[in-house]
A and B are shown apart, each in its own frame.
Chain A
Amino acid sequence: MKLFGKNIPEQVTRLTIILIFLIVAFIFLRSLLVPPDFGKYGHYRASAVDEIILQDIKYAGSVICYDCHDDVVDSKSEGYHNKVSCEVCHGPAVLHIDDPEEFVLEAPRERGYCPLCHEYIPSRPTGFPQIVSASHNPMRPCISCHNPHDPKPPEPPRECKACHAEISRTKSLSHHVNVKCTFCHETPGDHKIQPRDFLPTKPSKREFCGLCHAENSNVPDEIPRVDIATHGEQYMCWQCHYPHLPEAN
């Protein structure tokens, strides 16, 4: 020791001892502080995933309802609400499945619930059935006319505007107000029953607009005329004029 120690200054020896002590202490403390499963799968504690998985499930999923309520599920599968999960209206059902007597699921019966989906809001996709609840049989609960498990309207809608309210409102402001929807859109009768399976047509040629707006068309004089062959060059009519409100720029 003396042989080596002779040339090494004393403070270096001390510092080395302290350094070694610190390194050992660090390794020891780290092994205590860092959980053993940290870094097993990545830079995180593997058992955290276990803890997250142990969270309680509240929504049971729509399949299991069939086990007891097959009659309701069968009748629902025929109607428009066939893809609406039971728990959307009846609420989370896991407790009810564990103990059907103790936890009875409620069904919303008041008028306020259905408008969450069916109140008319222009932002909703066109064709989605919507009503203005202030004017649609006010004060009567929805379920007095509509069976929520098979919610077909008491009768098929008579007019296009029952579903396409926004377009109808726009058109009512335009010169096309008296042009019937079916004049431009050939509409299969089943469109009212299965709207997405039977789509109405749309005009595809300039000549269709020309039926009224061509120079030689046989219609009243006040209708504006253009030369269908040259007007607007290569563009289709509806690329510049919105047919439901042709006055718009």
Chain B
Amino acid sequence: MLHFERWKIIAIVATCLAGILFALPNFFSKETVAAWPGFMPKRQLALGLDLRGGAHLLLAMDTAELKKDWLANQKEDVRKQLRTAKIGFSAIGASGDALQVRLVKPEETEAALKELRKLIQPIGNAILGTSGRDVSVEPGDEPGLILITPTEPGLQERVANAASASIETVNRRINALGTAESTIVRQGRDRILIQYPGLTDTRQLKELIGKTAKLTFHSVHPSVSAEEAKQTRVPIGYKVYESDERDEVRQGAGYVLAETPVVHGDDLVDAQPSFDERTNEPIISFRFNQAGARRFGAFTKDHVGEPFAIVLDEKVISAPVIREPILGGTGQISGNFTVESANNLAIQLRSGALPAKLTIVEERTVGPSLGADSIEAGKLAGLIGCLSTAILTIAYYGTFGVYAVIGLIVHGLLIVALMSLIGTTLTLPGIAGFVLTIGMAVDANVLIYERIREELRTGKTPISAIDAGFTRAFVTIADSQLTTLAAAVIMFWLGSGPIRGFAVTLTIGILTSVFSAVTVTRLLVAMWIRYSKGRGRALEVPV
């Protein structure tokens, strides 16, 4: 156990040096590190939101609403399909999870099934192959009744699509806020996690996310005003929408709009704030996709001179007048915009329709002052914890105790180096985990040294006692570290938030402690033996 081959010594020393090198950037400020020559590692430990301050928001998509919307879309398609095929139906309605189609002539069921099955979309993509269908079209339990039911994989794909669209939208909205190194990721089936470092006042963020409802473009009723409609009755096929325009003159008036939108927000490709070339006023330019362009073109051709309404969140955000037919799909909205309001409207437009309503199900925000306090407290606790451990160890084990402490220092540096390298974030529970691993790493040394002392008491020679100490203790160390590792891995696997940060540090700490406490200390002890022998004295174990 005490003989080291040359290459092993080199490997151990190299590992320690690498540890120092990669841990080094953390002891200097960001600016200092940036000025270092290119070959030096520059990665610093990423601090978690609880230490640097920031907001953590977990959003959930409303999958029930998603389903409802999907059925509504499906309804349109079914109606169109049956009409083209000239199959008469008396009603199409959603009932529970399914869409019910009631045919006028039950004998047309077969033909209708055939037509409607054309609507079935395969799930999956061309590369990975398709794996099923999005809906099932089956005859119901009465003659002339057809049931169209979304399949489970179909729903899941729908949710997945909505999630990616929502992430995209949230991302765009947040980036629109300005400086953001925020991360937005999907979590589980229908959740989205936003982490936004440095942000403490989440009101603006929530407002941006909260504006979730859909973007639609509607025609305005040519004659009836909102006041009239409210006093008498709303014309059939129309609905009163409140106004949410920034322009204060129009606030509260409201509009009477066609219930069925002309174009959906999904069809909007882009919207950007810009300036009118002639008047130099802020405007918004927008662009539709082909389907949207076709519908919007047809609509504007028939309604020149009339206003149309842009509805976001069931509220009219703008109602510009159509000056000329917009046939190519691109157009401009002008009006009394300031640079800011033009920008806002463009963002609202661009974010388009969030396909599903997002609800905040968890929020954790830490202010920068608390974060800084936590870092200070963590540093102090870490320092005092390490010092007291070191003093105890040296007082109890003498020179070998010093070696153990050197091992502990290597252990600490390696944790910092590994965490910087891998890019895991350090959280407050992570600091607690760090302090704990220091206390636990010393356990390996305690096991070894107690064993050496025991062997010495049975009358063994120093060298064989030391050798036996390391050999015998190692089995125990491996067993005890592996069991702790089992617990740490489960913590990481099942844990959330704070538990994970803790588990990461604990896991890395267990791995490095075996190296530092067993290998590094053993090398130091082996060198001590060689050195002491070289001085020609009788060997006396200083434990």
Q: Do A and B come from one complex?
A: no
- B-to-A contact residues, CB < 8 Å: none
